[in-house]
A = this chain, B = another copy of it.
Amino acid sequence: MFEKRPRTVGLLGGGVIGGGWAARFILNGVSVRLHDPAPGAVEKVQQQISNARRAYRRLTRLPLPPEGVLSVVDSVADAVRDVELVQESAPERLELKRQLLAAASRAAAPETLICSSTSGLRPSLLQVEMDRPERFLVAHPFNPVYLLPLVELCAGQRTPPDALTRAAEIYRGLGMHPLVVRKEVDGFIANRLQEAMWREAMWLVNDDLATLQEVDDAVRYSFGLRRAITGPFSIAGGGGGMRRFMEQWGGTLKCPWSKLTDVPELTNALLDKLAEQADARGEKLASLEFEQKRDDCYVAILQGLRTQGQGAGKTLALWEHGLRDHNVQIDSGSGPLRMPPVQMPSDWLDSNGHVNESRYLQLCSEATGILERYVGVDSEYRSKCGAFYTVETHLFHLGELRAGDCAQVLTQVLGAQDKRLHVFHVVIREHDDKPVAMAEQMLIHVDATRRRSAPVRAVVRERLLELAERHAKLPRPERVGASIRQR
């Protein structure tokens, strides 16, 4: 997956969207050449990168690739020269975007893809003044760009399909979900849907049927929970499928329950009401605290969906799969097995900010799992032959891990007999190689069908004995065979 990541991209515009792109690219190991003439733009971009670092630490336990480099440049030409992709995220003004894209197209190499983040402008209108308009498309993301996976890809009249294919591969490599829009249409897909609901929400507030907070509550405590799993075509239940559902509910579209024909006039009175009700929530909307709270919620939902392999959780799992490919080498020759580094997520912490004691055992348990696969206990062996079950653990705590720390487990096989496996794990903190915990474990091999202890099968025994022999040459850890000493 990572071969498809560009090395360097050029970003035009560093606002909320451009800064979010900078964060997603840089944390995925892609260097960024950023041009934004607005004062303070660079600081805001750096804040977003720092927000994203914090969010990713919570999002995944896998270590990220080395960060890309952010270079701030003084001109459009400097931003787009020698890059593989240009992402334009300027304000939503057609003339401004047209000029920027035309300038970018003249300075960029002929094969450089040029994408616009526009929320609603048609690509055919944007590409008219470009050199080689056939490498231009819309790639519309959602804020925060570093967390929300959707990117809508839309071709203009002069964009051939292969430009979309190339762009989709790049965005997929960044952990995004590219969705190709079939026809050019204002607002593409998601924003049209979002706007329809937003208009009805404006009416509810305008007519004093609900406050802004009540509208939000009505959504997030009910079908809003559904929207993370499925879109508006979810069928609530009851059987009979879509046709039955339409018979039952299609009529309400005509009733109609919602306002159809009008847009509420954006009078000063309505704007005042909205602003007042928004203020009443007491959230400092642009504050760092608010942004971090928002990100934490996204992280929690994404992690939840990952456990189910659904929607954006599936996208996250795919991205992690790409990250994992970097870390397959565990055999360090004559030393103990060196397990892939693991980053401490926020939900592993105690109230004192340290990783909970049970998570050290979880790390060791995962290390045993990797050791098992290394000697041939794969899913087929598990279902047909058996697996190792822990009967006893002696765990020693020597130090602490905190959120974002990376840890590695070093695993030594102390002994392997017919039915028993004796191992020793050392958990080290990656940045200073300090051991923070150690565990001696005794496991027995359990037969898959009889569910009782049974000798290891030959194919696994051979690899295991070979490993045990190699590890027998390592120094025996002092704490092996210890008992808890009482005074």
What is A's interface to B at a CB cutoff of 8 Å? 15-16, 92, 120, 142-144, 148-150, 152, 177, 179, 181-183, 185-202, 204, 208-210, 212, 214-243, 246, 248, 250, 252-263, 266, 271, 274-275, 278-279, 285-286, 291, 293-294, 296-298, 300-305, 307-308, 310-313, 315, 347, 351-352, 356-359, 361-362, 365, 379, 382, 387, 389-397, 414-415, 417, 420, 422, 440-442, 480-487
Q: A195-B257, A220-B311, A221-B311 are in contact. List 13 more A-B contacts (CB 8 A).
A: A179-B218, A189-B210, A193-B219, A196-B197, A201-B232, A228-B301, A242-B278, A254-B263, A260-B261, A352-B387, A356-B365, A361-B395, A417-B487
Q: Which residue of chain B has its CB nearest to the CB of A236?
A: B143
How far apart are the CA atoms of A208 and B184 in the complex, in Å? Answer: 11
Q: Which residue of chain B has its CB nearest to the CB of A188?
A: B218
How far apart are the CA atoms of A227 and B230 in the complex, in Å? Answer: 11
Contact B237 A274 (CB under 8 A): no
Contact A227 B229 (CB under 8 A): no
Contact B481 A484 (CB under 8 A): yes
Contact A257 B227 (CB under 8 A): no
Contacts of A209 in B (CB 8 A): 181-183, 185, 189
A477 to chain B, nearest CB (A): 12
Contact B481 A285 (CB under 8 A): no
Contact A297 B291 (CB under 8 A): no
Contact B221 A224 (CB under 8 A): no
A and B contact pairs by CB, cutoff 8 A, 15 listed = A193-B197, A193-B215, A196-B197, A196-B259, A218-B231, A223-B227, A224-B230, A224-B231, A224-B311, A229-B294, A237-B286, A260-B261, A300-B305, A392-B395, A415-B486
Contact A237 B144 (CB under 8 A): yes
Contact B216 A233 (CB under 8 A): yes
Contacts of A387 in B (CB 8 A): 352
Contact A221 B442 (CB under 8 A): no
